A and B are shown apart, each in its own frame.
Chain A
Amino acid sequence: MKKIPKPFKNPYFAGTILGVVLFSAFALTHSGLGASGAISRIQVALTKLVWSSHVDRVGTFAAMGAGERNALDHPSLFLLIGTFAGGLISAWLNGRLKIEIFKGPKITNYQRLFFALLGGIIMGYGARFARGCTSGQALSGGAVLSLGSWAFMFSVFLGGYAVAYFVRHLWAD
């Protein structure tokens, strides 16, 4: 029998869970949530595997993994593994664990994967530029009323809306 995916939860309900998780992150660890920091750490660790002298030379890489320093020995990485596990468990319990490619109907799978990779590169670049991603800057900084995080958040939406029209074929039906 084919498993039918359960409907997504009401966004306000999911948001409330998210808020409680975010609060407990602050209460137990001093800081909020984050993903891009750990992603950079993976990048530094991978670079180090193939070209370790380069890690020592580039300022932002060295801060995480120069010399004897292990870029992966950091709490943010466990947060990232946890996020992965949480996503996996929830998708499994809700019948959404399925190999597939999400895309707009007008483009091919290859096109979609190309743009996913491209978007990821742009996103990864921007997240380092902004010193944090949607979780680390917008959610965490937003909750503690950091002015920079609020400015950042509006800027993300602005960037999305500014370009949405030009890439509408990627998503339009």
Chain B
Amino acid sequence: MLPVDIITELGKAGGYAVFFLIGAGFGIALELAGFGDSRRLAAQFYLKDMTVLKTMFTGILVACLLIFLSSGLGLLDFSQLAVNQTFLWPGIVGGFIMGVGFIVGGYCPGTSLVATASFKIDGLFFLVGTIIGAGLFGESLPGFENFWNSSFTDRFLVSDWLGLSIGATVFIVTIFALVMFYIAEKVEEFFKFKDTNKTWSWKITKRPYLYGAGILIAVAALIWSVGQPDPIRKWKIMEKKYAGQLATRAVFIHPLEYVKTNSESTIKLITLDLRPNKDFEIFHLKGSENVKIEDLLDAKFVAPLAQLPPQGVVVLLADNDSISIKAWQYLKVQGVVNLYILENGLHNWNNLFADKQIHEKAINLASPPAEVLQLFPKNAYIPKIKIGSKKRAGGLCS
């Protein structure tokens, strides 16, 4: 199942070679579109040549349709893709500055690279400029670091904002792009025919464009009707990948390991208690949260868990394995990284600590201190928690 991590698959050298090839495809696509020519890029802003808009949005749309179609069909796990973090206002301000740089200099970073590669001197000057500009930014950042880190939401999709399903959003984006293409074509035609006597019409004269638009709409409609897999369907697709960790009980941790993890200041531990509310009211671990299994199917509830920092660990506890395993499956396929189950829930928790004393006092069962670990032999449990960082955030921009 996609995505694969090419560096893990092929090693560093092989992985870097694939990055090179992807880059080559990128460079070829940009060059073929004419993005190595600053005049063509700048013409976008004088409405005479809409190539930039047409090529960019076609690229975005095609990639978007491929991603969500393969995700809908169970070929790709969308939760594993790097989604640019949203820093809304810094992004808007930075974007505006870039727009100014674009029209003054005639390129953007990627296109200046292609221009330089095809021996365009202005492209080279622009590229050198971007290197200087990146340096100036680092120097000036301390002056407005708070603003730069403001209005942050980690993985915030257009569909979340619209309150619609991903399928519906993809469909809307498709229609939006097609309308924009139509307008772009007509604007170009208008400027072309402006000072001539040719008649200008609203009609689409190119047949292939109509067929192309038809295909895009059909694919978008298909994505919408298939829908994105819910956690239950997703588990069926991904069972092979994760079931082993449950079967070998590699994700079931001993209560002592829980106590140890809880005491580590570098780890952010989140405990989800799946027991009935009345049992939770009687006794629960300090800092744990009482949740229902249905909550774990709610994307809004799960999002913060999937976006924990690399040092975040989620531990599930329930009255029996069938509930905790189901919860583990739901969360795993939604992209929660360091996810564990407390072995036996709280069934032998009390027995384990009941007769233990520290400084001749009984310990607080709701949050046993780390010292309690010294009362047990070193090999009382097998440690299982491995903090795996994820590569998702940031992507290639950092």
CB-contacts of B11-27 with A (<8 A): 15-27
How far does the Cβ of B60 sit from chain A's closest Cβ, in whole Å?
Answer: 4
Given contacts A37-B397, A79-B19, is CB(A163)–CB(B130) below 8 Å?
A: no
Q: Which residues of A contact B131 (CB under 8 A)?
A: 39, 42-43, 46, 120, 124
**Contact of A119 with B105 in the complex, beta carbons under 8 Å:** yes
**Contact of B118 with A88 in the complex, beta carbons under 8 Å:** yes
Interface digits, B122-163 against A, CB 8 Å rule (1 contact, 0 not)?
Answer: 110111111111111111011001001000010111111100
**Contact of B138 with A119 in the complex, beta carbons under 8 Å:** no
**Contact of B110 with A133 in the complex, beta carbons under 8 Å:** yes
Q: Which residues of A contact B156 (CB under 8 A)?
A: 146-148
**Contact of A146 with B101 in the complex, beta carbons under 8 Å:** no
Interface presence of A30 (CB below 8 A) = yes
Binds A, one of B39-47, B230-238, B371-379: B39-47
Q: What secondary structure prevails in chain A residues at the interface with B?
A: helix
Interface digits, A34-71 against B, CB 8 Å rule (1 contact, 0 not)?
Answer: 11111110110011000000000011110100000000
B52 to chain A: closest residue by CB: A11
**Contact of A86 with B104 in the complex, beta carbons under 8 Å:** no
Please measure, in the bound complex, the distance between the C-alpha atom of A43 and the C-alpha atom of B209, giving whole angstroms: 43
Please measure, in the bound complex, the distance between the C-alpha atom of A160 and the C-alpha atom of B28, giving whole angstroms: 25
Candidates B63, B103, B120, B129; contact of A163 at CB < 8 Å:
B103
CB-contacts of A65-103 with B (<8 A): 75-76, 78-92, 94, 96-103
Q: Which residues of A contact B246 (CB under 8 A)?
A: none
Candidates B22, B86, B128; contact of A82 at CB < 8 Å:
B22
What range describes how many residues of A lie at the interface?
Answer: 35 or more
Q: Which residues of B contact A42 (CB under 8 A)?
A: 131
Please measure, in the bound complex, the distance between the C-alpha atom of A60 and the C-alpha atom of B103, giving whole angstroms: 27
Count of chain B residues with a beta carbon within 8 Å of a chain A beta carbon: 140
Binds A, one of B76-84, B299-307, B309-317, B357-365: B76-84
A-B CB contacts (within 8 Å), total count: 580
Given contacts A28-B4, A121-B132, A171-B46, is CB(A15)–CB(B59) below 8 Å?
A: yes
Interface digits, B66-108 against A, CB 8 Å rule (1 contact, 0 not)?
Answer: 1100100000101011111111101111111111111111111
Given contacts A35-B113, A145-B157, is CB(A155)–CB(B76) below 8 Å?
A: no
Interface digits, A107-123 against B, CB 8 Å rule (1 contact, 0 not)?
Answer: 00000110111111111
Please measure, in the bound complex, the distance between the C-alpha atom of A24 and the C-alpha atom of B342, giving whole angstroms: 39
Given contacts A28-B18, A80-B23, A129-B90, is CB(A16)–CB(B62) below 8 Å?
A: yes
**Contact of B28 with A61 in the complex, beta carbons under 8 Å:** no
**Contact of B128 with A117 in the complex, beta carbons under 8 Å:** yes
**Contact of A126 with B133 in the complex, beta carbons under 8 Å:** yes
Given contacts A12-B54, A144-B67, A145-B158, is CB(A128)–CB(B137) below 8 Å?
A: yes
Please measure, in the bound complex, the distance between the C-alpha atom of A108 and the C-alpha atom of B269, giving whole angstroms: 63
Given contacts A9-B33, A120-B127, A126-B94, is CB(A145)–CB(B121) below 8 Å?
A: no
Q: Which residues of B contact A24 (CB under 8 A)?
A: 22, 25
Interface presence of B191 (CB below 8 A) = no
**Contact of A16 with B3 in the complex, beta carbons under 8 Å:** no
Interface digits, A7-30 against B, CB 8 Å rule (1 contact, 0 not)?
Answer: 011011111111111111111111
Please measure, in the bound complex, the distance between the C-alpha atom of A18 and the C-alpha atom of B66, giving whole angstroms: 12
**Contact of B26 with A79 in the complex, beta carbons under 8 Å:** yes
Interface presence of B169 (CB below 8 A) = yes
Q: Which residues of A contact B142 (CB under 8 A)?
A: 59
How far does the Cβ of B90 sit from chain A's closest Cβ, in whole Å?
Answer: 6
Given contacts A26-B81, A91-B36, A143-B67, is CB(A136)–CB(B395) below 8 Å?
A: yes
B122 to chain A: closest residue by CB: A116
Given contacts A101-B121, A103-B39, A159-B102, is CB(A18)–CB(B82) below 8 Å?
A: no
Interface presence of B112 (CB below 8 A) = yes
Q: Which residues of B contact A35 (CB under 8 A)?
A: 109-110, 113
Please measure, in the bound complex, the distance between the C-alpha atom of A58 and the C-alpha atom of B136, giving whole angstroms: 11
Please measure, in the bound complex, the distance between the C-alpha atom of A11 and the C-alpha atom of B134, giving whole angstroms: 30
Interface presence of A1 (CB below 8 A) = no
Q: Which residues of A contact B113 (CB under 8 A)?
A: 35, 80, 83-84, 87
Interface presence of B117 (CB below 8 A) = yes
**Contact of B20 with A85 in the complex, beta carbons under 8 Å:** yes
Q: Which residues of A contact B53 (CB under 8 A)?
A: 157
Q: B residues engaging A (CB < 8 A)?
A: 2-7, 15-34, 36-40, 42-46, 50-51, 53-67, 70, 76, 78, 80-88, 90-123, 125-139, 141-142, 145, 148, 153, 155-161, 166, 169-170, 173, 181, 209, 212, 391-392, 394-398
Additional A-B contacts beyond A124-B132, A162-B100 (4; CB < 8 A): A21-B25, A120-B112, A132-B84, A146-B83
Sorted nearest first, the 7 A-B pairs with minimum C-beta distance are A119-B105, A120-B129, A159-B99, A82-B23, A124-B133, A86-B27, A15-B58
